[in-house]
Amino acid sequence: MSEVTVIRRILHCDMDCFYAAVHIRDDPSLAGKPVVIGGNPEGRGVVAAASYEARRFGIRSALPAARAVRLCPQAVFIRPDFNRYREESEYIVEIFRDFTPIVQKVSIDEAYLDVTEQLEPWGSATAAAQEIKRRVRQERGLTVSVGVGPNRLVAKIASDFDKPDGLTVVKPARVQAFLDVLSVRTLPGVGPASERRLKQSGIETIADLRAVPMDRLEMLFGKHGQWLYNCARGIDERPVRTHRERKSLSCERTYAEDLQRLEEMDQELERMAERVSRGLKKRELSAQTVTIKVRFGDFTTLTRSHTLPSPTHDEQVMVTWAYRLLRKTEAGRRSVRLLGLGAGNLVHGEASQLELF
């Protein structure tokens, strides 16, 4: 008996300008204005998000707020309210779960839905996507762009194809035609550096990429070459998972004034270690790796890591190694703009008791 191949129906739902949209919904006087979510433009804040009106001036996330105000002096700056965004995100995910139990939330404003076995009563993935858009607009006063495709890769690209408030459906027979005309930068994982390397080899579109043999791509990009080879053909076997295994837990802070002395940096690391340790214990996780992140006053950023002999969630172990790692940098001789502490290579279960030295 021949095996029947099931064609998956995957939706990628991506909220439009989520942070800014929440504020604009709650304050209609902001509608049509360039709204920027971020830190104080008179200080050292950065842009967390921008409305479409603000983006027309070249304002993007991670841009220094002072630069954003020079690009658009009339911009309305609003400080982020992440608790508000997280709460809104949960309401929206509950709408998604009315359509399928297989929902993978990949960030605060986007999720994958597998509706392959959940098409009733809508009849098709397209109809389900239309109903999702209607409910999000009606119940939450927000818009969501949805991509529909036979896998996560295609659905993700499709959701960005017609923003804002878009719906793009790519049927299996049209996958290659849909992809071929797009820029290689459209592919997940292709950033500015990869795009430059591809263009240097004469590869600008996905059709160009499809013409390159896998061994050539592996020579250029290592293991990532196989991913690019499959992407160019619309191949993506990754399932939609209902939960993600957490790989790390971290916190970081950017300072209004640079830190100068090691003692004050140590105090910051102590606070971070306490917070990370508390987060690990709450989730019943232990970490095998301790990492610090340091950004100096000139924006040079580096990380230092240490692998422990056995996993732990002990605050004192983490802070002791954070002290040591910090002293492997030029902190104390150079001013520090940002500090971060992370716990990685997480495992489930109780922490082991470790010798500090």
* Residue 205 zone, left/alpha/beta (φ > 0; ψ -120 to 50; rest): beta
State the average pLDDT over residues 272-279: 93
Instruction: Give all strands of the β-sheet with 76-78 in edge-to-edge order.
Output: 47-50, 35-38, 76-78
State the average pLDDT over residues 238-245: 80
User: What pLDDT digit, counting tens, does each position of 148-194 carry?
Assistant: 999 999 999 999 999 999 999 999 999 999 999 999 999 988 888 88
What share of residues in the chain are helix, strand, coil (percent, to 5)? 40, 25, 35
Residue with tokens 């971060």: 340
| Per-residue pLDDT, 125 | 96
State the average pLDDT over residues 326-350: 89
**CA-based nearest residue to 293, from 269, 318, 271:** 269
Predicted TM-score of the model (pTM): 0.70
| Per-residue pLDDT, 245 | 62
Choose the weakest-confidence range: 37-51, 100-114, 205-219: 37-51
Burial group, residue 222, by CB count within 10 angstroms (0-12, 13-18, 19+)? exposed
Domains of the chain with bracketed CATH: 18-81 (3.40.1170.60), 175-231 (1.10.150.20), 248-348 (3.30.1490.100)
State the average pLDDT over residues 216-236: 91
State what percent of residues in the chain have pLDDT above 90: 68
State the average pLDDT over residues 273-298: 91
Q: How distant, in Å, are the alpha carbons of 17, 25, 278 from that of 142?
A: 10, 7, 34
| Per-residue pLDDT, 41 | 82
User: What pLDDT digit, counting tens, does each position of 72-96 carry?
Assistant: 999 999 998 988 998 999 999 999 9
Residue numbers annotated as active site: 110
